[in-house]
């Protein structure tokens, strides 16, 4: 398969992730609500407030709601990784198999990290706050997602360096 096809598909995937960010956030919220219901919450539901999805859950004796804003979702981070991977593959800096593998691993890591961030934030709100609705966009969680994305980008550039060395040797 030509590398420009794989690179183009990765770039299109990244652009679609940004364009459909709200739909991705709704899916993340539904998944987080299901996992919260299986782990720490007694009852869970997905609701909406101001166009943003909300995880509603009971913990202990009260209801809590965690609003999932654009700052909380992982779609923007996933899109950035997919576009960087696509550009590196299309430009010939990475083989398509290596670029696809690193992009897939990075996307998976960021999606799992995003889910962990939502669930930990919801758990902390449920155990230490008054009943009510709270946004789940915590600066430490955002910093963790940025560090994870930078780690994936670093893997890209180590792979480019290794591929370059193999060609020149």
pTM: 0.82
> Rounded to an integer, what distance in angstroms lies between the CA atom of residue 85 and that of residue 21?
19
User: How sure is the predictor about 164, in pLDDT bands with cuts at 50, 70 and 90?
Assistant: low
Q: What is the mean pLDDT of residues 86-103?
A: 89
Is there a contact between 93 and 102 (Cβ–Cβ < 8 Å)?
no
Shortest CA distance to 67 belongs to which of 19, 33, 103?
Answer: 33
> For residue 88, with 0-12 CB atoms within 10 Å meaning exposed, 13-18 middle and 19 or more buried, which class applies?
buried
Q: How high does pLDDT run on average in the chain?
A: 87
Q: What is the mean pLDDT of residues 89-100?
A: 89
pLDDT at position 148, please?
85
Could you write out the three-class secondary structure of 53-78? Answer: EEEEEEECCEEEEEECCCCCCCHHHH
Helices (H), the chain: 3-19, 21-39, 75-90, 96-128, 139-168
> Rounded to an integer, what distance in angstroms lies between the CA atom of residue 86 and that of residue 100?
8
Q: What is the mean pLDDT of residues 39-49?
A: 92
Task: Domain of residue 157: give its range.
Answer: 3-168
Shortest CA distance to 7 belongs to which of 125, 117, 94, 121?
Answer: 94
pLDDT at position 9, please?
95
Domain count, the chain: 1
For residue 59, the SS3 value is: strand
Output Rg (C-alpha) for the chain, integer angstroms: 19
Q: What is the mean pLDDT of residues 129-146?
A: 81
Task: Write the pLDDT tens digit of every residue in 6-29.
Answer: 999 999 999 999 999 999 999 999
Is there a contact between 133 and 55 (Cβ–Cβ < 8 Å)?
no
């Amino acid at each position: 398969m030509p590398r420009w096809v794989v690179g183009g598909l990765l770039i299109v995937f990244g652009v679609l992730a940004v364009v459909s960010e709200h739909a991705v956030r709704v899916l993340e919220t539904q998944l987080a609500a299901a996992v919260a219901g299986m782990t720490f919450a007694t009852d869970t539901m997905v609701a909406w407030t101001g166009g943003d999805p909300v995880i509603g859950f009971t913990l202990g004796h009260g209801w809590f709601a965690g609003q999932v804003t654009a700052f909380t979702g992982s779609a923007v981070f996933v899109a950035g990784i997919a576009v960087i991977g696509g550009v590196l593959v299309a430009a010939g800096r990475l083989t398509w198999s290596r670029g696809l593998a690193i992009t897939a691993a990075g996307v998976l890591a960021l999606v799992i990290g995003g889910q962990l961030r939502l669930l930990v934030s919801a758990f902390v709100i449920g155990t230490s706050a008054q009943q009510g609705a709270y946004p789940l966009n915590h600066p430490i969680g955002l910093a963790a997602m940025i560090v994870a994305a930078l780690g994936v980008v670093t893997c890209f550039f180590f792979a480019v360096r290794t591929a370059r060395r193999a060609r020149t040797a």
